[in-house]
Structure 1
Amino acid sequence: MAEGSVSVCTECLFKVLVIGERGVGKTSFITRYVNMRFKEEYKASIGVDFALKTIEWDNKTVVRLQLWDIAGLRNMSRVYYKEAMGAFVWKHDLDSKVRLVSGSPVPAVLLANKCDQTEGNKELSALMDNYCKEKGFLGWFETSAKDNLNVDEAGAFLMENMLRIDRGLSSRDNGNDRINMSQSKATFKCC
């Protein structure tokens, strides 16, 4: 380092949504990713659970991930999307509800979880690649929270993309919110 220069340490806080249908392994994925544990027993999430993972990305960057484990409550999930910088598992309808300030969709990675329960499928890769391209996912990973397969790799992939986008936004951003919620008419439904 040159004399007189200052080393700048960046600390980033990213809200990451983990959304999917009941029983797909959202909570198990988060528990493995954050605590390096796996529990055999199944307990359905009710509402929203939170977890925090802190990662020293490089010698100048610390990343704190707020992982929001959103149960399959589609009608309630929109409020939880605010200020999200990334998503795992589910993307259906996400783009219509939240976007980055630039207008780009929130980066999302598709997880084919529980791959320990299936035999390898040679056609899966091409199908998943096409699905990701059609639906706007950054990419996809076969994961197993049980066997700790590709859990950290999927997290690093999403984090790398969020950092790249955040650094691009930061150079153009004047402290505004990082995402825009699309406007929608309020609706009320009664039973």
Structure 2
Amino acid sequence: MNFEDYQYLFKFVLIGDTGVGKSCFLSQYVKGKFIQEYDPTIGLEFESKSIEFNDGIVVQNQLWDTSGSSQFMAIQKTFCQNAAAAIVFYKIDNQNSFKSLENWLSILKQVSSDMIQIVIVATHQDLETQRQVQTQQGRNLADSLNAKFYEISNHDKDQIDGIVNSLSYNVLRLINSNKINPLNTQYGIKMSRQQEQQYASQLDNSEENIIQQQSSPKRRGSDIKIEQNTFSPNKITTASPSRSQHENEQTEQNQQQTKPKFQLLFILLPIIIAYGLYQILL
């Protein structure tokens, strides 16, 4: 697979004290090689590895490893910026490395986005007899961060692959669910040019659909219906045909009863007037 043959590139950072196994983890993931001798990282380094998911999406995981020494603190803060995920390390046989996680997590909080994916990894699982940090301590810390927790041996490449690939899947899921925007560099994601064009096209189509829904005929029709119900007497009349017919019949009956009374009045009125005049003349 070519270096540029991917749809997405994710930036992952490996952080923790010196000697907790970050470089060995990186070597096992990318090269499948276990580092026998401890060789502290000076400054920082990174390696890349691409994986293909079942739907054909190719993701290149770019893992950045930095020295855990305090003299490289400025570099550590800089390289933690704009990361999609962070793998935070401590050793089960070193209590101080576990206590230092508070500082490492504080750095992440200062420079990373709220959507960064975090996993806590306890190394040297094969040194159980020298354990200083209990499993539950690490799990409780991970739970407080809503993060995954793993205890591993850096000899176990399959477990290491599973951790990184699971992180890639989670970041990809956030993109597909529109919870993060891959065009925003703060999320530690880079897209290939083709994927970027496709994503931008999808955004345009989504905006068009929203506009169409807001001005759709169905919605205008409902507004017209409300206006008719409010202002159209014809609409109200036709809604109760039986009642209307009864009211018409009652009106006609009342008119028929009133008509004879008016006719009799017109006949008697001249007689009454003539009788009154006759009495005055007498």
Task: Report what 2:212 is aligned to.
Answer: none
| SS of 2:7 mapped into structure 1 | strand
Task: Report what 2:185 is aligned to.
Answer: 177
**Alpha-carbon distance, 1:157 to partner:** 2.2
* 31, 40, 62: which one aligns with 2:27: 31
Instruction: Tell me which protein shows more helix as a share of its residues.
Output: 2
Instruction: Tell me which protein shows more strand as a share of its residues.
Output: 1
Task: Report what 1:3 is aligned to.
Answer: none
| SS of 1:49 mapped into structure 2 | strand
Structure 2: which 5+ runs fail to align?
Answer: 90-103, 189-282
Amino acid at match of 2:86: A
Contact 1:115 1:143 in 2 (8 A): yes
* 118, 121, 125: which one aligns with 1:108: 118
Runs of 4+ residues over 6 Å off in structure 1: none
**Alpha-carbon distance, 1:128 to partner:** 2.4
Contact 2:174 2:180 in 1 (8 A): no
**Alpha-carbon distance, 1:156 to partner:** 2.2
Task: Report what 2:254 is aligned to.
Answer: none
Distance 1:174-1:67 versus aligned 2 partners, 3 A rule? closer
How high is the TM-score relative to the length of structure 1? 0.75
C-alpha distance in structure 1 between counterparts of 2:112 and 2:18, whole Å: 22
* 156, 160, 167: which one aligns with 2:169: 160
C-alpha distance in structure 2 between counterparts of 1:106 and 1:38, whole Å: 28
- Give CA deviations for 1:86-106 in whole Å, capped at 9, x if unaligned: 11125521112211xxxx241
**Alpha-carbon distance, 1:120 to partner:** 10
**Alpha-carbon distance, 1:146 to partner:** 2.2
| SS of 1:127 mapped into structure 2 | helix
**Alpha-carbon distance, 1:164 to partner:** 1.5
Aligned alpha-carbon RMSD (Å): 2.7
Larger RCO: 1 or 2 (CA < 8 Å, sep 6+): 1
Correspondences of 1:136-151 after superposition (within 5 Å) = 136-148=145-157, 150-151=159-160
Amino acid at match of 1:165: L
Task: Report what 1:98 is aligned to.
Answer: 112
Query: Aligned residues: percent identity?
Result: 27
Contact 1:54 1:64 in 2 (8 A): yes
Q: Which has the larger radius of gyration?
A: 2
Contact 1:107 1:138 in 2 (8 A): yes
**Alpha-carbon distance, 1:110 to partner:** 0.6
How high is the TM-score relative to the length of structure 2? 0.53
Structure 1: which 5+ runs fail to align?
Answer: 1-8, 181-191
| SS of 1:88 mapped into structure 2 | strand
